[in-house]
């Protein structure tokens, strides 16, 4: 019966090793492979032990068994460190391995020296052979080493569970099992069951656990899974070369794309085929200016249809070392054909569409401006406000453009100037009693007035709902919605702060407040330019974006000239 148990464990260990070979991936941890190699060897030792009929045979079986005993706990520990992404110095790994080698060398002295066992005798219990012995000093060292390996492994797993968030939790929980199972079967099983050794069962269960880990572990390695996924993608081709332009390899997609590539021997230089000379030209251009040029490669598919590929050349890395070049082909046929179709549009039709679009845009803009002026006519404190702030925005944008610190596109500047008159459009929803109040607002009045920001965004959204100009729609909504937000987060309606506030709203805020300061209102006289300038500068970093400080300072002479001309008029 015991013979059947050991034989069954050996058979299971072979089955699990075969499954591991079937699942094997080039990115598997080498320690996994060592574990699946050593477990069947150790289990075979138990079978041979049960079959031995002499002291010499029993000693040889024990020496085979201890191959697993001396080395398995080491490889389990090393796999724990690797899976927990904790690097071990090469010198330390080598030292640990040499310790295990020393232990196993002492095992090989059984029957000849008293290092591992002494007073050895052979007898049988029932039908099973038994080796009676006393433990030598190296056996005590063997116990100490595997206990230390076990404790270090458990501590490492516990540390990773607590501190290393990027290590998969499932893998950490699974790693506990083989470590604990092997130790329980080794120390507890032998003392509870004197006639049968449960270490083989522990080894087989450890194998099963590592199969589960191996099946899952590569999913967490983003680098490997992305690379493998890209290599399998049929629309992407790869060719690699060393720095001497010798061919290293390619995937099947690249071989289909580049005629003659399949005939080049690995490590051979380029041939004279035109298609290969084209690739050589890509490499030469990359050497002259790495990453500066893009290339287009045309080919034909199996049906004779033209295919167009974007070509990228990058360095080929081995770890962190550059070892050569990688040429990547990405199928861009659909985009390129679409661009060609756009380029062949009838010019007359384009002009007609552009003319009609311009007319519609003009009508749309006039409607929006009329609404803004209608709203302004209801507010007895903001006469001419939208015109003045629009000019203020234009002046600020000019200075920002000259500085070049903020890369504002021409389209953004156009949209910003066009949207500026709409910033107070939400006041259409504010009651006249508040809007036309001849004096300062109460807290209740101010709360009602603050609603105009969000209301303005809603109105603009509805007006521009079906516009094709998405960029203008976004800018206009943001200007209306957020021009009363403050850099320090104390503004309204949403209490945004810093760069959470859209840039267009930050620019609008400066122009809006400047106009409010230097213009006369029912509740105050116009401030002098120096006083207004001091207030604006003091607000940089609290109310306003400090990144606009320089542009505002440079815009100040033009702002003062503009408002001065208005006051004189």
CATH code assigned at 12: 1.20.1070
Task: pLDDT band for 50, please (50, 70, 90 cuts).
Answer: confident
**Residue 463 buriedness (CB in 10 A; 0-12 / 13-18 / 19+):** middle
When pLDDT is averaged across residues 98-125 and rounded to a whole number, the result is 85
Quote the tokens at residue 283: 């490499």
Q: 539, 561, 559, 560: which is closest to 549 by C-alpha?
A: 539
What pLDDT is stored for residue 226 in this prediction? 47
Percent of the chain with pLDDT over 70: 81
Q: Is 491 helix (H, G, I), strand (E, B) or coil?
A: coil
Q: Are residues 239 and 194 in the same domain?
A: no
Residues of 339-357 as b/e, b for ≥16 C-beta within 10 angstroms? Answer: eeeeeeeeeeeeeeeeeee
Task: pLDDT band for 11, please (50, 70, 90 cuts).
Answer: very high
Q: Is residue 11 part of a domain?
A: yes
Q: When comparing pLDDT for 539 and 180, which is higher?
A: 539
Q: For helices 169-183 and 199-217, what crossing angle results, to 10°? A: 170
Q: Are residues 463 and 383 in the same domain?
A: yes
When pLDDT is averaged across residues 469-490 and rounded to a whole number, the result is 92
Quote the tokens at residue 67: 């191959």
What pLDDT is stored for residue 565 in this prediction? 86
What pLDDT is stored for residue 344 in this prediction? 60
Domains held by the chain: number: 3
pLDDT in tens, 318-346: 767 788 888 888 888 777 666 666 666 55
pLDDT in tens, 354-384: 676 666 666 666 666 666 666 665 565 545 7
Task: pLDDT band for 398, please (50, 70, 90 cuts).
Answer: very high
Q: Are residues 69 and 213 in the same domain?
A: yes
The domain containing residue 514 runs over which residues? 349-568
What pLDDT is stored for residue 233 in this prediction? 54
What pLDDT is stored for residue 348 in this prediction? 59
Quote the mean pLDDT of the chain.
81
CA distances from 488 to 99, 470, 523, 547 (A): 62, 29, 27, 13
Quote the tokens at residue 190: 């032998």
| CATH number, residue 322 | 3.30.450.20
Q: Is residue 227 part of a domain?
A: no
CA distance 349 to 263: 51
pLDDT exceeds cutoff 60 at 157: yes
pLDDT in tens, 264-275: 877 777 666 666
When pLDDT is averaged across residues 157-165 and rounded to a whole number, the result is 82
pLDDT exceeds cutoff 50 at 443: yes
CA distance 424 to 381: 13
When pLDDT is averaged across residues 141-153 and rounded to a whole number, the result is 90
Q: 6, 10, 20, 61: which is closest to 40 by C-alpha?
A: 10
When pLDDT is averaged across residues 132-136 and rounded to a whole number, the result is 82
Q: When comparing pLDDT for 498 and 336, which is higher?
A: 498
Q: Is residue 226 part of a domain?
A: no
Q: Is residue 470 part of a domain?
A: yes
pLDDT in tens, 291-312: 777 788 887 777 777 788 888 8
């Amino acid at each position: 019966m015991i013979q059947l148990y050991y034989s069954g464990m050996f058979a299971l260990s072979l089955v699990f090793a075969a499954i591991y070979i079937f699942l094997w991936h080039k990115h598997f941890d080498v320690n996994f492979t060592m574990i699946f190699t050593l477990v069947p060897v150790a289990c075979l030792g138990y079978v041979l032990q049960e079959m031995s009929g002499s002291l010499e045979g029993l000693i040889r079986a024990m020496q085979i068994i201890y191959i697993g005993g001396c080395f398995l706990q080491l490889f389990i520990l090393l796999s724990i460190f690797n899976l927990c992404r904790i690097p071990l110095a090469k010198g330390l790994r080598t030292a640990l391995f040499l310790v295990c080698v020393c232990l196993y060398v002492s095992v090989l002295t059984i029957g000849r020296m008293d290092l591992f066992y002494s007073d050895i005798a052979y007898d049988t219990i029932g039908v099973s052979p038994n080796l009676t012995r006393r433990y030598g000093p190296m056996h005590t060292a063997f116990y100490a080493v595997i206990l230390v390996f076990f404790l270090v492994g458990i501590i490492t797993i516990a540390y990773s569970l607590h501190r290393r968030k990027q290590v998969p939790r499932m893998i950490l929980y699974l790693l506990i099992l083989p470590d604990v199972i092997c130790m329980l079967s080794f120390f507890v099983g032998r003392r509870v069951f004197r006639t049968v050794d449960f270490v083989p069962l522990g080894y087989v269960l450890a194998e099963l656990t590592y199969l589960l880990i191996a099946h899952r572990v590569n999913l967490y390695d983003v680098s490997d899974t992305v690379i493998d996924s890209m290599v399998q993608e049929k629309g992407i081709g790869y060719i690699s070369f060393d720095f001497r332009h010798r061919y290293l390899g390619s995937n099947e997609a690249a071989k289909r794309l580049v005629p003659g590539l399949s005939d080049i021997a690995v490590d051979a230089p380029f041939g004279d085929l035109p298609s290969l000379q084209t690739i050589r030209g890509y490499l030469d251009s990359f050497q002259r200016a790495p990453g500066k040029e893009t290339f287009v490669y045309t080919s034909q598919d199996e049906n004779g249809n033209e295919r167009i590929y974007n070509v990228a050349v990058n360095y080929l890395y081995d770890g962190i070392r550059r070892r050569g070049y990688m040429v990547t082909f990405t199928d861009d046929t659909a985009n390129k054909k679409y661009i060609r179709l756009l380029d062949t549009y009838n010019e007359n039709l384009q002009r007609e569409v552009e003319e009609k679009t311009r007319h519609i845009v003009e009508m749309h803009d006039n409607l929006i401006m009329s609404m803004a002026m209608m709203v302004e006519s209801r507010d007895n404190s903001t006469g001419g406000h939208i015109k003045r702030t629009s000019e203020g925005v234009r002046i600020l944008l000019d200075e920002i453009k000259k500085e070049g610190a903020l890369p504002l596109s021409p389209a953004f500047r156009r949209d910003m100037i066009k949207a500026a008159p709409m910033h107070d459009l939400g006041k259409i929803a504010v009651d006249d009693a508040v809007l036309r109040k001849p004096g300062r607002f109460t807290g209740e009045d101010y709360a009602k007035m603050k609603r105009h920001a969000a209301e303005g965004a809603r109105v603009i959204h509805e007006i521009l709902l079906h516009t094709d100009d998405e960029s203008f729609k976004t800018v206009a909504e943001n200007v209306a919605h957020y021009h009363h937000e403050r850099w320090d987060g104390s503004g309204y309606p949403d209490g945004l702060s810093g760069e959470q506030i859209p840039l267009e709203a930050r620019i609008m805020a400066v122009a809006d407040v400047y106009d409010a300061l230097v213009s006369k209102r029912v509740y105050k006289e116009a401030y002098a330019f120096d006083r207004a300038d001091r207030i604006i500068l003091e607000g940089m970093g609290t109310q306003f974006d400090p990144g606009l400080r320089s542009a505002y300072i440079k815009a100040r002479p033009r702002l003062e000239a503009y408002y001065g001309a208005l006051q004189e008029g």
